[in-house]
Structure formats: structure tokens, C-alpha cells
Structure 1
Amino acid sequence: MSQQLDFTLGALLEHVAATYPDNDALVYPERGLRYSYRAFNEICRQVAKGLLRLGVKKGDHVSIWAYNVPEWVILQFATAKIGAVLVTVNTSYKSAELHYLLDQSDTSTLFLVGSFKDTDYVATLNEVVPELAAAEPGRLASARLPHLRRVVFIGDETPPGMSNFREILSLGEAAADTELAAVEATLDRHEVINMQYTSGTTGFPKGVMLTHFNVINNGFNIGECMKFTERDRLCIPVPFFHCFGCVLGVMASVTHGTTMVPVETFDPLRVLQTIEKERCTAVHGVPTMFIAELEHPDFASFDLSSLRTGIMAGSVCPIEVMKRAVKDMNLTEITSVYGQTESSPGITQTRTEDSIELRVSTVGRALPGAEVKIVDIETGAELPPGKQGELCARGYMVMRGYYKMPEETAKVIDTDGWLHTGDLAIMDENGYCKITGRIKQMIIRGGENIYPREIEEYLYTHPGISDVQVYGVPDRKYGEQVMAAVIVKKGTTLTEDDIRNYCRGRIANYKIPKYIKFVDTYPMTASGKIQKFKLREMAIKELGLGDDGEPV
């Protein structure tokens, strides 16, 4: 039986701060910021009290739209200390996606930074909430988003209608500890404190509800599989809005007194500099990140001898990349994790002592406390080792459900508590799993899960498009790229650029189709179902791609 931690997030941090008070908790070398666990717990308490004074209550939904700034991690614990639900927003979102998330999640308070890459967050939010600029901070009344009352800016120049994060710190200083203690006394470890949006076969994103118990114990077991201790230092270049960042990164660290060393926005040079400067013992990343680090022209000049472990996950890990990470980055104990947001996210993981063959050819075996089985897609019967079927998981890590979507929840969690992942897998006699394909038509591009239906639903709003089918094609760098087969309405002329321009600024750049093909019909089954796999096969042939995305 695996060990289970029976804390809330707030109580966990109090416990770790008491156990390792002087250990580095959160380090941002470029900012000169270095919190010990004692100091980190204190600022989280201060922000929690400030949130209460601001009017945020237990159960309120608080969204954060930001890259890996220090305030992100502080809010992860501060919101949990008062039982508010932290809703994570993808940094690549544009206006349509932002409006959907804020509306569907019933967000009452939004924290945001000024911009990220090509997106001006303030301008985008003002497009979604035109009343904001003229509103009194904290008293927003939006016609389209009736729940949204407060917008808090993380940065120097506070835009009209918003409060500033610094004000929450000031409010927290003035608040009594008894106010926070009164709320903390009402919290339960099985209450929802985190919501992350993931799509599905039905197209629109669904809010995955995760509890204190889900994320603490998943993070703990992930850390155990990497043999984390209070002496480890984890470089975190993966985004916090994903479970990869906020659970496999933050929670795996905090449950072990490990030091977190985030990289604010991914840059291979910055990752290498951070590992060397802070003597990091572990680093996380999707395969494309590791490739960018390994292929950086200055790679050989960095001392990475402190490295030991970490996680390569997010999409299928190419064998050669894993081998190079072991050999050239000193990651002799690197692991791979398989999971999904609905499972907090880890289901299986390789272990540090596993052979390199197991680590490159499988996604490991069930995490402590998790059950895994492979079932026949047609009958649901459990299959013996070596047979391909759907991977199902059960245990402490399975989500509470999708927010306000009981029917969708029932489709993926059966009456016996098994989560149906939609992924095809084979398990060997020792419990090690290989992911062999997907039942769902999901595209994984550079670690980002892309659901064709979501893009299709958006493109259907184009007045010149009659029908559209979106699917993935192989790509050497990203694993997969997005392709769309479009039927144009009679009497209409469209170009590839017309379609891409229609997407720009409205859906995330990584979802915009790289390839667009105009067709008159789709390949169909006898019963009239469109055969996307045939569209994919045709595209691979026409584009001259191999199964690995290499030109042939």
C-alpha cells in the first residue's frame, strides 16, 4: 500500500516550512529572488489574508493568466489556503478561448500579466470585457461575464479598472491571522482547489476539478519515483498552467522540501544557464525542449554535472533524444510519465533504477496507489499482458469530475471508478505500459494536446466554409502538426491564408492548421462516417512524409 499524505495544500506548506525552514523553496536567479520555505509560507499566508480582505471567499473561482512568474506559485498556495479554486488559463489563449473559459468556469477574480509572446493580455481582456476600463476596481459588472467582479494586474503599470497584486500584499499585512485560521479550520482535503481546462471528443474545453488530495499525493508519488529529497533542486521550464508544471513540478517539489527553480518562459539557453548557476539536480521538459537544449550551439560550454533526474513527458519520447539526455546531460536517472489532466496527471512512471531500454520504450508502470488495466475496446473485458486495448486507471488521483458537465464526466469515469483514458496501450507481464495509439482523435504537437473538434467548431463559424475535418500529420520536430481538409461553400473562393487569417488572434497559434487542403468530398464508411485515418494517410503520401514526419 502506498503512503498517502492527508494534508490540505496550506497545511502541507506549513508542515514543510516547519521541517525545512531554511531550505530554498523558490528561486528566480534572474530576479535575484530567493525564498526559503519559511519565507515562502509567510508570503503565501499574507496573500491568502489579502485575498480574504479583497472579498474572495472559500469556493470562489480565481483564474490566473500568466507565464511562470513568482506570483503564480504564490497564488497556487494562497488560494488553496482559503479554499478558493485556482483556474489555470493557457498562456496561448486568444479572445474567444478566454471568454469561454472565464464564462464556463464562473470566474469571479482574474489575475493576469501584461502580455505573452504575440498576445497583449490587457487588450484581449478589454475586447472580452469592454466595461472593464471604466469600472471601479473590484466592482466590475460585465454583461457577458456576470460572475467576474475583480481583475488584478501582476506588473508595474496598473491598467484602468484593475487592482494590483501589490495591493493584495498590503491588505494581507493589515489582516489578522485569526481571519485566515477561521477559514482554514473549515477546509477538507477532498475539496476541489484546482481547475484545469482540457478538451475532448465533444470539442469544447472541460474544467477538470482536482482536489487537495489529488494533486498533493500525485506530486508526492511522482517525486518518490525520482527519489526526491530536500537536497534536490528542480529546474521547471514547463508552464505552470499545465499539470506538468503545477503538479509534476511544484507539488513533486514541495512534498519533498525540494527547491523549485522556475524558468519564466522557455528558452534553451536560459534553461542551461539556470541548471549550471543553481546546480540543479533535476529538470523537466517535453521532448522538443530537450532537443532545443541539446542542439543549442553553446551546449558544450555548460557544466551540467549536478543533474541526476527529471521527467521527459508530454508527448511520445523519441528514443534517441532520451539516450542523448542520459549521456550528454548527465540525466542518468531521468524518468518518463504518462497521464492526463483528468488523473492529476500521473498514472504511470518509469523508475530511476529502470534500464535505459525500459525508460525509452515504455511509459513505466502504475504509480504507487494507482491501478491500471488494459480493456477490450468493444467488450470492456480486461485483457491479458501483450494485448492492445484501452488503458484505464483508478485510484486517489482520478478527478472529481468535469465542472458543470455530469454527462461528460460519466462518459470517462465508469460506475466502478475507472477512468477511461481514450489511449491505446499494451502492458507487459511486469506492468510496464507502451502507448500505441489513440481512440480519441487527439493531436499532440510539442506537448500541447489539441482536439480537432474544437478547431472544427471554430472554423465552422467561417461564412465560406461548408465542412471541415481537422487531423494530425507526422512532424519530426513537434511530433505532429495540424492539418485541415476544407470543403468550401458553392460560389465561394478561399485561400489557405484566408483561413489562417481567420484564426489568428481568435484561437491559439499552435492550433492554427499548418497544412490546409481544399477537397470536394471526404472518404466515408458504408454507414456514412468520415474516415479521418484515410485523410491522414492521403496527406502523408501527398506531403511526402514518413511516419516520423521525415520527408521520404
Structure 2
Amino acid sequence: MTHHILKPHWSRYLGPHAPDPHKFVYKPHQEPVFTSPFGPFPPSPEDLNIHELCFPPNNPLPEDYPLLVNAVTEEVITLHQFYARVCAMARVLRHDGPNPLRLGKSPVNDKEDGEILGLFSRNHLHYPAVAHACFRSELVFGGISPASTPYELWWVLRKMQITSIMCHETLLPVLQEAFKLGSGEGDKLPLKLVLHPKKVIVLSDNPQLDNVLGHRTIESLVREGTKLTERPRKLLGGNRMAYLFQSSGTSGLPKAMIITHKNGYHSGIQTLITAVQAGRYAGVEPLSPPTRTLGVIPMYHSYGMIVWILRVNLVQNTNIMLPKWDIELALKAVQKYKITHLPLVPPLVRQLAQSDLTSKYDLSSVIGAVSGAAYLPPDVAHQLAKKLPQGAAMPIPSGYGLSEAASIASPAAPGIFGLEPALPGTIGYLLPGMDGRVVDPDTLKDVPKGQKGELWARGAVVTPGYFKDPQATADIFSEPAWLRTGDLVMRDEQDRIHYLDRLKEMIKVKGLQVAATEVEDTLLDHPEGLVRDACVAGVDNGRGDGSLFVRGWVVLTAKGQAESEVNMAKKLDEWVKTRLSRHKWLTGGIEVVDLIPRTPSGKMLRREMRDRYHARMKTEGKAKL
């Protein structure tokens, strides 16, 4: 069979059963399992590697162009420079090559042990090349949040079984503090720290350095790899593990979630399929002309992986990187680089929608903006769209996905396949290759259209599970291949999906996930033993942007009761701040209560605590600390 997916033409994204956007009309139905109007994914080789999809071995590189640009320093990485760096690094990282770092072979799945490289860095021009060098050298990596405290880093290093790590030079103190916490001997987690202090590679902003604090730099590896001879190999991928995501799952501190090569490249091409079909429907050349994207989404995140890494060379796109969010710098970049696409999260959409600064800059180059990672209020979606060429008639769409399945649903081009518009308030239609069900979370029976239930998803983007955590994996797969998303939705008569609420005990803070149980465990773990029981939930922040404040309710021990309430709250607040990242802090305050309501089976009723608080705020207008 000929696999067209490796040919350098937009038709590679259309399989033999792709629907014709002019002739095919999607017909909604009443069956429990519904599918994407876009049909299945195009066929691909069983062992396809993400890097070989992006850079097919028998295809010459296209004409060179700027691939990555730092909006602050104006440093540029072209496509050809990127590819050369990737090849050089891959020669050094191969376990069966010269191997100056003494790296072992990576595991194929979580039944094996082996080399896993942690990537611990803020957004950086050279981060995507390191990821592709890992794909090319078949080295599994794990993306780690640069906002991690030493304790959180220590935990993630253990959950991912990181054996070597790339660390940005500014984060070396955090890594050093994490090492001081030891191997974890004596606690209940079976996965101990296996990272060797000598297997640290530094990502430095100074390209001249070969060493930082005795550790090799990424640039030194590139220089060494450039001198090595390329050894042609057939790369392996498919269902082999490619990388790990940091995921909070449904409870506790972060888990390590497996993403295979098959998961990764299908996530990368999903919205390219929709773009090709939209282009065909509109009668224009698909995926043309070249695009320029505002790059602010974190690279370690599932959303960022798609934006920065999984689509390199699949389309001609230049990412204009903002090292950190700054609204005026973002607007200047849009005007200066004539940016065409804005991938955003709801708090950034709101800032742009409400800022007077937008009138100072030329935004006419923007073809479209899109929001992800959290709920986007309809009024905000319309408000920003008014400021862009698309106008209020085309409000900012909000895609839907999870770390466990990066892209599941999204609004479709108006009219394509006869589809009704998916306006803000819905998360649209299933994306290519996806199947869906709406299931009663208690009975696990499918519910009829128009009724609330948990969204279950099936498709090639769905993770095989959590790394070395069979119980957590079993929790998200009540039936084989069907991922329980933990989200309450409603499927309407047109097979659009309406997002209603989270079933999982997760709190969204500026697009980032906070596990309520993680904060609760931290409160209960106060060294002075002040708390007997704790409940944490997300409460309204009063801004209407979909982001929440984290609020805690505590039942005190005798020691806690001996403290003044103000002093006790201060101690608990400071303790949380020393243990957890900023977005997990108790910005909604701490309240002392006599008891935490629970069901007869012992399940905490967090929603009841949250609803009581919101009801009180309506009458009192202020929070009790």
C-alpha cells in the first residue's frame, strides 16, 4: 500500500475515505456512538516516527524560511538550521552511537525501564529542536513545567522515572533543591528518584558555553554532533512511547501520561485535515499562503506540543516566540511580523478583548485566533473578534482536548458538510478520526441526546494510559479504548457537543490545572499539624474569564484551634506557597468550618462547599478569611 501521508503535498492529509466537502452532507443520528463529520484519519505506516512524518527521509527540504523567531532578541532559527541542529543532536543522543552522555536505550512502553530525558525549561528557541532530536534518536522524553517547585519537580522526576535531564540554566537551583530531597526511600510511592546528578544537560542562553557548573550544554552537543558522520537508520515509532506529559489526572500530585508516536502525529495533523477541507470547501488552495503564529503557549503542555513541535515542516509556518506574556509586546509582534494566527488561552483572550492598547497597533494581518485549555465565555469570544478582521460574526472558537487526548472537538468551518454553526457555548463537532459517546457517569450507560452525561472519546490521539500506574489507567478506561474525559457535556440534535462542567475534581486557573486533592494534601501535611480535614475547590474570581480562585476550607485540630484564626490562616497560606506553584496558591482564601460534608461512602462534596460560598457572596459581597 502506498502511504501518501509522506508526500509533500496537502493531499497527504486526506485518506481514501475522506468526505468531499462539496458533496457530502453529515447526517446526525440517534445512535449512542457518533463520529466526526470529517471522517477517519488518513492511513499511515504502523511504525511511523513523529520526526519522519515531519521530515520524510526521501523528501528534500523545501526552500529555507524563518521557522522560529524570538520577538525580544530577534534571534532567528531557519528551517534548514533547525533540521541541521536536530540531526547533530540526534547523533549524540543515540544510545547505540558514540554516546558521550552514556545514555541507555529508552523503554518501548511502561512495562520496561530505560532512558527517559526530562525537559525542564521555559519556552526557548532551541526546545523544539531538542524534542525532535529525541524523536530522531528514539529517546523518550518527559516535559516538565518550568513553574515547578523543588518538591513538585522531585515528585514528577519520580513519576516519570527521569534518568537524565535537560535543564535551563535559570532552573538549576530548583533542580539542585530537588536532589536534596533524596531518593524517596521510606515513603509509600514505589517509584524512587533514579535521575543521576551527572546526567544533567544545560540549556544556556549563551551559545559559546560548553559547560555550566560542570554540566555539558546543548550547544556543546550540537557542535560535537556536527562533526559526526550520519548513520542512516530506519526509525521506529508507531505505538512505541514517544514522550510523557505531566498530568494531574483526577487526584493528587502530577502523574506521568504516555504519548506514543501514533498519538503525537495524529494530534499534529488533526486540525491540518480540517484546514485542508475548509480550504477545499472555500475554493482556495489549502494550507496556503505561509502562516505566522504568535508563540506564547508553554512548550511542555499538550497544546504547546501541537503549536511548536508536532507540525514542524508539515506546513510553512513561522512561530514568533514571546518568552513570557506581555500584552504590548504581543501586539507589537503582531504588527511587526504580520502575524496571521493567535493560539491563546481564555485569560489572554480577555486581556486582548478589553485592552485599549489594541487600537494602537495594526492587527489586519490576523486571519484568526483560537482559544484552548479552558472554557471561553461567549461574550469574550465576540468582544475580541470585533477587534480582528474576522469581525463579531465569527467569534473566537474554542477547541476542546485534554492532556490524555490533545484534540477531541472544535467548531467547523461554517456550512462545511452541511453543518450548523457551532457558536460559543459549544465545543463544536468531533475532530477527524474521533468517536464519541455521552455516558451516565454512575451507571456507565449511554444517555439519549439532549441529556447530560460524561463525554467518552475514542481515537488515535487517546493515550494508552499513565506511566507505571495501572490503577490510574484503569480509572480513565472503564471500557477498552474509550477514554473517560471527566467532563459533563450534552450532545444536541446536530451532534454538536455542549460543555457543561467538570466531573473531575480539577480547578482551572488561567488555563492551568490544579488538582484539589493536591492542595488538600498539602494543607493536611502542615508540619505543625494544624488541620484535621480539608476541602479545596475553585470559586468565581469575579472577572468572568473562566479562570477560578483556589479556596480552602479546613477543620482544625486542637493545635490549630489554639491559634488565632488570622495567624492560622497565614501559616497555612505560607506553607502552601513554599510547596506548590503560584497557580495553586489559595488566592480565594481559607475558611475554618466545623465539618466537611461527605456522602455516606465518604466522598467529599466539594461542589456543596463552593455553592455555599457563592450564595454567601451574593448576600455579603465579601469573602470570609
Give TM-score, length-normalised by structure 2.
0.79
Determine the structure 1 residue equivalent to 2:487: 423
Q: How does 1:153-232 map to 2 (within 5 A)?
A: 153-155=202-204, 156=206, 159-178=212-231, 181-182=232-233, 185-226=234-275, 228-229=287-288, 231-232=290-291
Matched with 1:342 is: 404
Q: Which residue of the partner structure matches residue 51 of structure 2? A: 10
Deviations along 1:415-472, one digit per CA (max 9) or x if unpaired, are 4310011110001122211111122111111111111011112222112221111111
Task: Report the 3-state secondary structure (helix = DSSP H, G, I; strand = E; otherwise coil) of the residue aligned with 1:499.
Answer: helix
Match of 1:304 in 2: 363
- Tell me, what secondary structure is at the counterpart of 1:440? coil
* Conservation of the 8 A alpha-carbon contact between 1:215 and 1:251: yes
User: Alignment partner of 1:31: what SS?
Assistant: coil
Partner of 1:376: 440
Q: Which amino acid is 2:535 matched to?
A: Q
SS in 2 for 1:426: strand
The separation in 1 between residues aligned to 2:255 and 2:159, in whole angstroms, is 9
d(CA) in 2 for partners of 1:527, 1:30: 55
Aligned to 1:502: 575
- Structure 1 position 197, deviation (Å): 1.2
Cα pair 2:534 2:596 within 8 Å, conserved: no
Greater displacement, 16-25 / 80-89? 16-25
Q: In the alignment, which of 349, 352, 357 is matched to residue 413 of structure 2?
A: 352
Asked if structure 2 preserves the Cα contact closer than 8 Å seen for 1:226 and 1:351, the reply is no
AA of the residue aligned to 2:178 = V
- The answer as to whether partners of 2:346 and 2:371 remain within 8 angstroms in 1 is yes
Whether 1:32 and 2:74 are equivalent positions in the alignment is: yes
1:281, distance to aligned residue in structure 2 (A): 1.1
Matches within 5 A, 1:195-274: 195-226=244-275, 228-229=287-288, 231-252=290-311, 254-274=313-333
**Shift in CA distance, 32/160, structure 1 to aligned 2, threshold 3 Å:** same
Deviations 1:21-45 (A, max 9, x none): 3233222243333333222211111
In the alignment, is residue 95 of structure 1 matched against residue 150 of structure 2?
Answer: yes
The Cα offsets for residues 113-156 of structure 1, whole Å up to 9 and x where unpaired, read as: 233xxxxx222221122499xxxxxxxxxx95455541122223
Structure 2 CA distance for partners of 1:356 and 1:96, relative to 1, 3 Å: farther
Q: 1:66 aligns with which of 106, 114, 121?
A: 121
1:55 corresponds to which residue?
102
**Paired AA for residue 501 in structure 1:** E
Identify the range of structure 1 (75-84 vs 532-541) with the bigger mean alpha-carbon deviation: 532-541
Indicate if the aligned counterparts of 1:108 and 1:149 stay in contact, CA closer than 8 A. Answer: no
The answer to whether 1:540 aligns with 2:589 is no
Instruction: Output the amino acid matched with 1:267.
Output: D
Q: 1:301: how far off?
A: 1.2
Compared with structure 1, are the counterparts of its residues 8 and 348 closer, same or farther at alpha carbon in structure 2 (3 Å cutoff)?
A: same
Distance change in 2, residues 1:527/1:89 (3 Å)? closer
For structure 1, which segment, 496-505 or 244-253, has the greater mean C-alpha deviation from structure 2 after superposition?
244-253
Distance between the aligned counterparts of 1:92 and 1:486, measured in 2?
26
Instruction: Give distance in 2, aligned partners of 1:417 and 1:356.
Output: 29
Measure, in 2, the Cα distance between the counterparts of 1:245 and 1:485.
34
Query: Is 2:139 the partner of 1:84?
Result: yes
* CA separation of 1:171 and 1:393: change in aligned 2, threshold 3 A: same
Aligned to 2:540: 474
Q: Which has the higher contact order (CA 8 A, sep 6+)?
A: 2
CA contact (8 A) 2:123 2:323 kept: yes
What's the counterpart of residue 123 of structure 1? 173
The alpha-carbon deviation at position 319 of structure 1 amounts to 0.8
1:151 alignment counterpart? 200
Query: Aligned equivalents of 2:64 and 2:456: distance in 1?
Result: 42
User: Which segment drifts farther, 26-35 or 298-307?
Assistant: 26-35
Contact 1:18–1:38 (CA<8 Å) still a contact in 2? no
* Cα displacement string for residues 295-345 of structure 1 (whole angstroms, at most 9, x for unaligned residues): 3342211111111124211111111111122220235664321110111x1
Rounded Cα–Cα distance in structure 2 between residues aligned with 1:518 and 1:21? 64
Q: Secondary structure at the match of 1:434?
A: strand
Q: 1:71 to 1:441 in 2, by over 3 A?
A: same
Match of 1:288 in 2: 347
Deviation at 1:67, TM superposition (A): 1.3
Deviation at 1:19, TM superposition (A): 5.2
1:328 paired residue number:
387
SS in structure 2 at match of 1:124:
helix
Question: Contact conserved, 2:536 with 2:550, CA < 8 A, in 1?
Answer: yes
Aligned to 1:113: 168
Please identify, of 214-223 and 98-107, the stretch whose mean Cα deviation from structure 2 is larger. 214-223
Provide the secondary structure at the position in 2 that maps to 1:239. Answer: coil
Instruction: Work out the CA distance in 1 between the residues paired with 2:533 and 2:91.
Output: 52
Answering whether residue 481 of structure 2 is matched by residue 413 of structure 1, we say no
> What residue ranges of structure 1 are gaps of 5+ in the alignment?
116-120, 133-142
Structure 1 stretch 35-44 or stretch 526-535: which is displaced more?
A: 526-535
SS in 1 for 2:550: strand
Letter in 1 for 2:223: S
The 1-side partners of 2:217 and 2:321 are apart by 23
Q: Helix, strand or coil for the counterpart of 1:317?
A: coil
Shift of 1:478: 5.4
Decide whether aligned partners of structure 1 residues 504 and 338 sit closer, same or farther in structure 2, where only a CA change above 3 A counts: same
**Residues 131 and 459 of structure 1: CA distance in aligned 2, closer, same or farther (over 3 Å):** closer
Per the alignment, residue 44 of structure 1 pairs with 86
Amino acid across the alignment from 2:403: T
Q: Which stretch shows the higher mean deviation, 44-53 or 18-27?
A: 18-27
Structure 1, 480-489 or 230-239: larger mean CA deviation: 230-239
Flag the 1:56–1:265 CA change in 2: closer, same or farther, 3 A: farther
Aligned position for 1:23:
65
The CA distance in 1 between the partners of 2:62 and 2:105, in whole Å, is 29
Hey, what's the Cα distance between the residues in 1 that align with 2:142 and 2:602? 40
Aligned length: 529
Q: Within 5 Å, which residues of 2 pair with 1:477-488?
A: 477=545, 479-488=547-556
Rounded Cα–Cα distance in structure 2 between residues aligned with 1:436 and 1:321: 18
Aligned-partner residue type, residue 56 of structure 1: L
**DSSP 3-state at the match of 2:310:** helix
Q: Distance in 1 between matches of 2:601 and 2:475?
A: 23
2:474 aligned with 1:388, yes or no? Answer: no
Compared with structure 1, are the counterparts of its residues 80 and 58 closer, same or farther at alpha carbon in structure 2 (3 Å cutoff)?
Answer: farther
SS of 2:225's equivalent in the other structure is helix
Deviation at 1:542, TM superposition (A): 3.0
